[in-house]
Structure 1
């Protein structure tokens, strides 16, 4: 089972599950814990091969569905029937996969630095990465992608946070995760049409130039999706602008909880 930590305030408090991005770990949510644990039961998870979760769990043909099932297994272990899910970067794909395949377990999605489609630039970068991943040190590739996605000086803290966590991974684990990106575009396109019954908030830094355009397009097509840009912020908005990220997320969860509490 995946490694996890919980902070519980009471049986009636809503659960919030945090899913980190590729190369990160549950520790990248350190700026959220204090605020969320005041009124929420908090679940922090290390995805396979990250943080304190063991590596070597991969089987041939594993997909994001297998990864999301491991998160569901933790919910089962804790007897958590339903949870709000907050994902960051590649963790947003895991969160959306949970909502797609286990909709009765997900109250809402809050997707930070969300990935819902790769544009031509990103696809080219990923192709180069896949072509060189077996003979180029994975940390070189990871640092390169981190600088491309988070290029500005004000992005340095979040960039270093993920780079330092990624150093704890093994090359084989990185290759397995990287391989998941190969068929990701058609998969994500389907997710956008199959998860529309789940209340969803996209939180994006206004400097997250690679991933904002597809979000704007998806939100225009859906009445359920909400989208807020955070000013002066890059891809990892929970680290760069934690006060704003926390307030927007908690307010959204409160709104969903109040809506569900109204009879009929």
Structure 2
């Protein structure tokens, strides 16, 4: 699909008059990230799962400004417009959750409900954002200099993903293959343009999110557990679910619990809308 001048690849399952769920993957991911979830959800929901700019089979332009979170959100709004979707549930994991939060702040009229998995509204302090920009720029340079494999080796050994070491070998191979298939330019430019340090802080926007919000975190992911607890205090209509025996990638580490919690929440919201 051509969106604002860029080719976007998306996995979709659109059939009949069903609620729409927009699913946004994390850094180094793609729409393939959610293939198991989509196979379970598509019976009840119309699914739109794009590869975000610089990821998967979507374009990797060379202009860093094109990767700003505001530009990505404008792309998503245009994508939904082309698909004739006026309003949808938006789910985002990690980086995708930051995009989902920014999208909800920019286009609240298009959001039926928001699901944030292991995500953050950004960094509050300007000096912390500046330090993060520098670190992400160095990592982007490293990807372009060393190539994708050394970067993936480094990325997989981050403490953030330590809990994934117990996953079945087949699932770990699939995750690694998805990462190794990425375009080094796309990942580098995504780091430079969509860095947590580059995006605005959306903490002050949370009080204006009057649609329902579901926060899902893994009990082993202490950092994002704390962030979700802080977010819940600011959100007017939110639910926080902690999944035991899961770290950052809850949907991969405890897929059936993740799907159960997500489906139950969506069902409750849809029943409340009918009243």
| Superposition deviation, residue 155 in structure 1 | 5.2
- 1:145-176 CA-to-partner distances (Å, cap 9, x unmatched) read 43221113225767654442232223222221
Cα 1:72–1:58, aligned 2, differ >3 Å: closer, same or farther? farther
**Conserved 8 A contact 1:28-1:161:** no
From 145, 151, 157, the equivalent of 1:147 is 157
Q: Does 1:137 align with 2:150?
A: no
Cα 1:166–1:125, aligned 2, differ >3 Å: closer, same or farther? farther
Query: Counterpart in 2 of 1:4?
Result: 10
Unaligned runs of 5+ in 2: 3-7
From 105, 109, 116, the equivalent of 1:111 is 116
Larger displacement relative to structure 2 (202-211 or 150-159): 150-159
Other structure's SS at 1:210 match: helix
Q: Does 1:181 align with 2:184?
A: no
Query: Counterpart in 1 of 2:5?
Result: none
| Aligned positions of 1:155-194 closer than 5 A | 161-179=174-192, 180-181=194-195, 183-184=197-198, 186-194=200-208
Other structure's SS at 2:181 match: coil
| Aligned positions of 1:76-115 closer than 5 A | 76-115=81-120
Aligned Cα root-mean-square deviation (Å): 2.7
Unaligned runs of 5+ in 1: none
| Superposition deviation, residue 48 in structure 1 | 1.3
Query: Counterpart in 1 of 2:250?
Result: 237
**Conserved 8 A contact 1:134-1:175:** yes
Runs of 4+ in 1 over 4 A off after TM superposition: 117-120, 122-127, 155-162
| Aligned positions of 1:185-264 closer than 5 A | 186-194=200-208, 196-262=209-275
TM-score (norm 2): 0.83
| Aligned positions of 1:122-133 closer than 5 A | 127-133=134-140
Cα 1:186–1:78, aligned 2, differ >3 Å: closer, same or farther? closer
Number of equivalences: 259
